[in-house]
Amino acid sequence: MARTMTRRPVVKINLEASGDPRRRPDDLAAEEPLEIRLRRAPLAVTMRTPGQDIDLAMGFLLTEGVIGDAGDVVTAQLCAGTDTPNTYNVVDIVLGADVPPPVTDPSRNFYTTSSCGVCGKASIDAVRTRSRFDVAGDPLTVAAATLVELPDRLRAAQRTFDRTGGLHAAGLFTADGELLVLREDVGRHNAVDKVIGWALREGRLPLTGHVLLVSGRASFELTQKAWMAGIPLLAAVSAPSTLAAELADEAGMTLVGFLRGRSMNVYTSPERVTV
């Protein structure tokens, strides 16, 4: 059921090489909608790369503040939906009787694209969900020499990216640089939700003493998701946004950007990075 890529013919044109354009097969990263339902009632639709869909749904519910831990979920299962043939693009989740249902309205809808996880929400106040974990008090320290090795370890584990070149990645590391889990997706927020959903099901929350590395930029939404999972250090190979830095500062989280080669920028709580 995990359709991470598909192959289709393309016309290859290379102006720096001799010869006529030629047809060849090319692998494309899959992008399909996933509907998340609570007791068969639609809650959210996200555009994602199929695979680890239960983790994606669980991580989404946690980072949106719908659930607080894995015990809030009674059942979570893939459903066939209405597609023919069945694509299993629906996850149906049943919450415990004591878990309040999420409040949804037209100004705070949960439709997300592969590029933006909070599109359609009315304001910054609506998406700033407070974490139940004390990230500021996390005593984590990580050597800068360890951090600079993480992008290469993340890249080496990106098997689907090797064939498609079209996926973001998120990896959860220990303070010593051990890669615990990696997830790829066309949506950077989906990759993070898949990592957090895995940790949730494994009973690892809060993720005290861990590092989350993302292959692209560090946005507000990714910073919020890391905070909701209790992650004290978020690192990105590209730039953070202003809101990401402000939220990390508010949470007491260490935010690292431009983690490339042998250098990095530490935007907040730099005491966790030792030289």
- The residues that are catalytic are 116
Identify whether the C-beta of residue 244 lies closer than 8 Å to the C-beta of residue 222.
Answer: yes
Identify whether the C-beta of residue 250 lies closer than 8 Å to the C-beta of residue 189.
Answer: no
Single-letter amino acid code for the residue at 29: A
Contacts of 188 (CB under 8 A, 6+ apart): 115, 117, 168, 170, 214, 215, 216, 217, 219, 222
CA distance 202 to 204: 6
What are the DSSP E strand ranges found in 113-175?
142-143, 168-174
Q: Which residues pair with 171 in a beta bridge?
A: 182, 213
